[in-house]
Amino acid sequence: MPNTSIRFGLKNNLNKRSSIWKCWTSVGTGKSDVYITNRAIGKALKVSLHQSGSWHIAFDSNFLKKEVLYESRLTSNRFVDKWLKPPEICAGCTLALRIIIPEDAVNIPISNKVPYSTVWITAPPTGKAIEIVLLFTAPHSNSSRWPGRDSMGTHLLGSFQIENGYRLWIVHYVIDKPIIDTKWGTVTYFKSGKAVVQQSRNHREIIFSQAKDGSRILFECNVEIHQNRELEIKRHSA
């Protein structure tokens, strides 16, 4: 199915990167839905921003059935979170989603497997993070500039128009690194996940949160996994 998409991530001058994210919409279907996923887990879970205003974060049904033991599931169904499209933050503009990536999450070696079309954001200095914001503007919006350019000093990553005439904007700016306490716990992994854990040291964690304005926030964090008698997980502060 043809689609319009933007892939993006952070990279630094040490040839290291964050995870790569993808935002896309289908073309020629008559639908004006927008989707976002982390490329490393793209077939497992995604954010869906439907034209109807019914938005959610959910596992793929086939993946859930194949890979996640029933007793390990977060909920009784595939949905991690559901919410309604939040009110406009100003006339004709809706803030849909935030993705926050701290500087210490930029630690994956860049390889030839990275899609050539990836749009790179320069990693922030120590103690800082990049906040990536997805916004919709209505067809009647007369602004020729991207949202937050003047009021917040945002930088444009990319944009595309969806079939109902709305435009999706992806902008970013530097913020102070959020403080999240380090947590310890026992890993619950997918059925095929243990081998992946043993083979890779570049583990990621995506934390879901809700902002005061009703939008959702996705935090990308580092994870350390120690294999002792039990498989334990430690999340770095993000």
Q: Which two tokens stand for residue 217?
A: 């926030």
Confidence band of 189 (pLDDT split at 50, 70, 90): low
> What residues does each domain of the chain span?
3-235
With H, G, I as helix, E, B as strand and everything else as coil, classify residue 95.
strand
φ, ψ dihedrals at 220, nearest 5°: -95, 125
* Model confidence pLDDT, tens digit, residues 202-238: 677 888 898 888 889 999 987 766 665 444 555 554 4
Half-sphere exposure of 29 (CA within 13 A, CB side): 13
Q: What is the spatial distance between Cα 53 and Cα 153, in angstroms, rounded to a whole number?
A: 28
With H, G, I as helix, E, B as strand and everything else as coil, classify residue 200.
coil
**pLDDT value for 111:** 84
Q: pTM for the full model?
A: 0.86
**pLDDT value for 187:** 62
Confidence band of 63 (pLDDT split at 50, 70, 90): confident
User: What is the CA angle 107-234-16, rounded to 5?
Assistant: 0
46: left (phi over 0), alpha (psi -120 to 50) or beta: beta
Q: Which two tokens stand for residue 41?
A: 């887990």
* Model confidence pLDDT, tens digit, residues 127-150: 999 999 999 999 887 666 888 887
Least confident of 53-57, 58-62, 106-110: 58-62
The larger pLDDT score, comparing residue 73 to residue 56, is at 56
